[in-house]
Chains A and B, each alone.
Chain A
Amino acid sequence: MKVRNRRRGSDKIELQMTPMIDIVFQLLVFFIMTFKVVSMEGDFNIKMPQAAPSAAPPEQMEFPPLKLYMTANENGDLSSLTLNEQSFEGNNPFIELNRYIQQEIGLDGGPGSARETAEIEIGFDFNLKYTHVIGAITAVSGTKDQRTNEILPLIEKVRFTPPREE
């Protein structure tokens, strides 16, 4: 078997680029087709056992139980927002509500502080759009520090009023 060895200085290996580019384009198209942009989803936890929740005795609670009620117009948009007889109006009542809660509850939380024991009960009209309920829960649950982007919790115990019998 004669093995011919071409020794002519430099052995140049010629690569066929065309098939490689084809496969690379196939891969690229696959990845582009399977790419989906989703926004991150987060949860607001509410614990609602079937049994009627027993409120902590008034001496232990630094803060009276808060009751929030939202009414809706016929489109489902927010028409009024009331917290324990105080109503919040304006273009963006949720920001006012958030500021009020920050003032009353404060941001420090040790055991027994207002932040730990405060509870809020949220009620609303049947046809109120769900985004407003999430907005209310957001407004009472916490606030974000502008500099560090850290979430500072406010009221952690949120529950809904039992639905009224129609």
Chain B
Amino acid sequence: MKIKKQSDDDVLEGDLTPMIDMTFQLIAFFMVLINFTQTETDDRVKLPDSSLAKPPEIVMEDPIIIQLTDQSEVIFGRSTLAVNQLQSSLSREYQGIQFSGRDPKDTTVVIRAHGDAAAGEVQEVIQVCQDVGFENFALRAQENIQTFKYIAPTSGP
């Protein structure tokens, strides 16, 4: 078997055009999906899932986001507090909202609590918010479309 030796065998020859095409496809895919909005989320909080959790059609303006981890830590703004330290920061926020002319009674407090957090602690956080003066609450869950864990699907009215 005679092996023909190529004249220059340290240069890799090959058509790079398909590779560039695939690379451009990948770039276009990621460019379309890139999302620069910074929603206040902390990785310590893993939301419970619900098949009815649908992102609201009407975007609410300036909600207050309070997060609760399963280790009983409250994350508000950029600080991690205990439940009993929350009231002072919240009342400052309340006064800030009043000062800027908005009505705190219209402000929604979004509570992102870890699925394994004690429900009683969530109630305590809600109680603190009520004491400060907030009235509208939204409990956040993540969307789970795969399994009907909590609701029995119907075939419609």
Please state if A50 and B118 are interface contacts (CB–CB under 8 Å). no
Of A20, A24, A35, the residue contacting B33 (CB under 8 A) is A35
Chain A residues near B110: list those with CB within 8 A. 43
A8 close to chain B: CB less than 8 A? no
Chain A residues near B51: list those with CB within 8 A. 138, 144
Instruction: Compute how far the CA of A149 lies from the CA of B34 in the bound complex, rounded to whole angstroms.
Output: 27
Of B55, B123, B138, B139, the residue contacting A134 (CB under 8 A) is B139
Chain B residues near A99: list those with CB within 8 A. 152
State the main secondary structure of chain B at its contact with A: mixed
Please state if B138 and A45 are interface contacts (CB–CB under 8 Å). yes
Please state if B20 and A17 are interface contacts (CB–CB under 8 Å). yes
Please state if A163 and B120 are interface contacts (CB–CB under 8 Å). yes
Please state if A126 and B120 are interface contacts (CB–CB under 8 Å). yes
Please state if B50 and A142 are interface contacts (CB–CB under 8 Å). no
Considering only CB atoms, which chain B residue lies closest to A133 in the complex?
Answer: B119
Q: Which of B5-13, B24-32, B75-83 contacts A (4 or more CB under 8 A)?
A: B24-32
Please state if A42 and B143 are interface contacts (CB–CB under 8 Å). yes
B126 close to chain A: CB less than 8 A? yes
Please state if A28 and B30 are interface contacts (CB–CB under 8 Å). yes
Considering only CB atoms, which chain A residue lies closest to B135 in the complex?
Answer: A49
Total inter-chain residue pairs, C-beta < 8 Å: 204
Q: Interface size bucket, A side? A: 35 or more
Please state if A129 and B30 are interface contacts (CB–CB under 8 Å). no
Chain A residues near B90: list those with CB within 8 A. none
B3 close to chain A: CB less than 8 A? no
B96 close to chain A: CB less than 8 A? no
- Contact A130:B153 (CB < 8 A) given known A28-B30, A44-B141: no
Of A21, A32, A132, A139, the residue contacting B151 (CB under 8 A) is A139
Please state if A124 and B150 are interface contacts (CB–CB under 8 Å). no
Please state if A50 and B131 are interface contacts (CB–CB under 8 Å). yes
Of A41, A94, A129, the residue contacting B150 (CB under 8 A) is A94
Instruction: Compute how far the CA of A31 lies from the CA of B35 in the bound complex, rounded to whole angstroms.
Output: 11
* Min CB gap A98→B, angstroms: 5
* In the complex, chain A residues 129-162 whose Cβ is within 8 Å of any chain B Cβ: 129-139, 141-148, 150-152, 160
Please state if A76 and B48 are interface contacts (CB–CB under 8 Å). no
Show 5 A/B contacts (Cβ-Cβ < 8 Å), sorted by A.
A17-B20, A42-B140, A131-B116, A146-B153, A150-B156
Sample of 15 more A-B contacts, CB < 8 Å, known A41-B53, A130-B115: A32-B30, A40-B54, A44-B50, A44-B139, A45-B108, A47-B137, A48-B126, A95-B152, A127-B120, A131-B49, A138-B52, A144-B148, A146-B156, A150-B156, A163-B120
Which B residues have a C-beta under 8 Å from some C-beta of A? 16, 19-20, 23-24, 26-27, 30-31, 33-35, 41, 47-56, 108, 110, 112-124, 126-127, 130-131, 133, 135-144, 148-157
Which A residues have a C-beta under 8 Å from some C-beta of B? 17, 20-21, 24-25, 27-28, 31-32, 34-36, 38-50, 76, 92, 94-95, 98-99, 102, 107-108, 124-139, 141-148, 150-152, 160, 163
